[in-house]
Amino acid sequence: MNKMNNASMLLVAMVVMIASTTEAVRVRGGPVVKTKTFLSPPFFLRAGGVSDKYFDDVDFPRGHVALKSFNGDLVDESGAPVPLHEAYLHHWLVFPYYAAKANKSDHLPGPTNSGPCTDTLGHYFGLGAETRHTNTWVPDPYGIEAGDPARAPAGYEERWVIDVHAIDTRGAADKEACTECTCTAYNVTAETPAYLGGVDCCYDGTRCKVKDAYLNNGPRKLFLRYNVSWIEWSDAVVPVRIYVLDATDKALLEGSTKPACKVEYQVEKCSAADRARNNCVDVMATKEMVPYGGDLVYAAAHQHRGGIGSTLHGQDGRLLCKSMPIYGTGHEAGNETGYIVGMTSCYPEPGTAKISDGELLTIVSNYSNERQHTGVMSHYYILVADQKKTLNKPALCFSFPYSWCLPTWLWSNQM
């Protein structure tokens, strides 16, 4: 017992020492965080235009690594951030895939996240207009494993693809209709009459209605600028599973085992009766099953304009995360009035948010329905520690705010 108490006191002392110092502290052998900024290939948009392109073999950290964060930003050719009221970043998504070493055009599908919607939402990272102010940092000692050569098929190696969906709203006759992909704003007739807007109406090459003065404007060159942080993979990293959950997936509620992820949906304008009661809130809720449990280490929701917050609950009703939108209040890039410029992220204290194997989680997503909204989304991106790989770790290492590791003997004594 005395040995445990002494070790605990030493642990506290070490944490205080490192937290209070102003100089970087690195224990020999600890992880070194690497951060690098990359640019996607260019794409071109004229006023009202839409680009939704997939770029193969983009620049990305190579080797066997633990990804710690991924942040994106839409920039012009001078490197200046482009405000959402000029070019709306509908989404960017990042996926791994396998390319043949002898012929990079020979592709095989790569791993997806562990969520139920892998056919439609299989990405590793992905955000939209909220990208500039949404924290994506993976807390220590966790990491998203990438580049494991043992997982690649013989003769293939891991590569990455980015999907960037952007809408140029300069001179738009109705900016909100353009950003919500309302079909009439694009002169697109949907296959289903009830489908009034969404990604099926603002696909690559379409054009939203613009004012006459903008009809003949030339295109401009844009890029997705993305920052990636990572450390080299080691036994000290605790791997996490990625789950992307969709509030439109009603399969379990309807007694089906086959996922039914619609990805997007339509929010109808509130009734006169609800308006009179000041109750113009649309609620979309569902249950999603997490097959492999562990500690919840990160969670954040994805909503579009009109979103007023989303919660994630355990099977017993306990609150796991409340993720709220951050709306801009100005004109500059990153603070655009009326746009969601960020979503708050949840970082539960270690060990306080455990999820069991097969646990049913509840998603509740709220939108204001003072007006109709088309093509909205209600997703949750969560990271769950792989509990089967958390034991027998040789060290406990940290990469933030500095790179350092607890000695093996101290970490093992606390297990």
Which helix (H) or strand (E) segment holds residue 406: the answer is: strand 404-406
- Specify the pTM: 0.86
The number of domains in the chain is 1
Domain-embedded: residue 18: no
**Block means of pLDDT (10 residues each) for the chain, length 415 residues?**
46 40 38 95 98 98 97 97 98 98 94 96 97 97 97 96 98 97 96 94 98 94 98 96 98 94 97 93 98 97 98 98 98 98 96 95 98 98 82 51 44 40
Q: Which residue has the tokens 């697109």?
A: 188
CA distances from 278 to 305, 307, 367, 370, 395 (A): 20, 17, 14, 10, 55
Sign of the alpha-carbon torsion through 212, 216, 217, 220: positive
Contact 376, 307 (CB under 8 A): yes
Give pLDDT, residue 104: 87
DSSP string, 15-75: HHHHHH-SS----TT----EEEEEEPPPEEE-TTBEEEEEE-S-----SSEEEEEEEEEEE
Asked if the structure places residue 176 within a domain, the reply is yes
Q: Distance of CA 113 to CAs 245, 260, 395, Å?
A: 10, 17, 27
Whole domain around residue 309: which residue ranges? Answer: 34-387
**Inside any domain, residue 12:** no
CA distance 169 to 178: 7
In contact, 144 and 124? CB cutoff 8 Å: yes
Q: Give CA–CA dist 323/309, Å, rounded.
A: 6
| Peptide linkage before 401 cis (omega within 30 of 0) | yes
Using alpha carbons, list the distances in angstroms from residue 261 to 286, 333, 392. 11, 32, 38
Q: Kindly report whether the peptide bond that precedes residue 109 is cis, defined as omega within 30 degrees of 0.
A: no
Q: Per the domain annotation, does 261 fall within a domain?
A: yes
pLDDT the model gives residue 241: 98
Q: What is the pLDDT of residue 107?
A: 95
Evaluate whether residue 10 is within a structural domain. no
Secondary element (H or E) of residue 91: strand 87-100
pLDDT value at residue 400: 53
Nearest Cα neighbor of 248 from 303, 290, 202, 300 is: 303
Whether residue 409 is contained in a domain is answered as no
| Of the candidates 143, 181, 144, 161, the residue with the CA atom closest to the CA atom of residue 92 | 161
Domain assignment present for residue 400? The answer is no
User: Could you tell me if residue 360 is inside a domain?
Assistant: yes
87 three-class SS: strand
Q: Rounded to whole angstroms, what are the CA distances from 148 to 122, 124, 127, 384, 398? A: 19, 15, 25, 19, 21
pLDDT for the residue numbered 387 = 72
Predicted local distance difference test score (pLDDT) of residue 407: 43
- Report the C-alpha gap between 176 and 364 in whole angstroms: 24
Q: What type of residue sits at position 183?
A: C
Residues 6+ apart with CB under 8 A from 195: 183, 201, 266
Considering all CA atoms of the chain, what is the largest pairwise distance in Å, rounded to the nearest integer?
Answer: 80
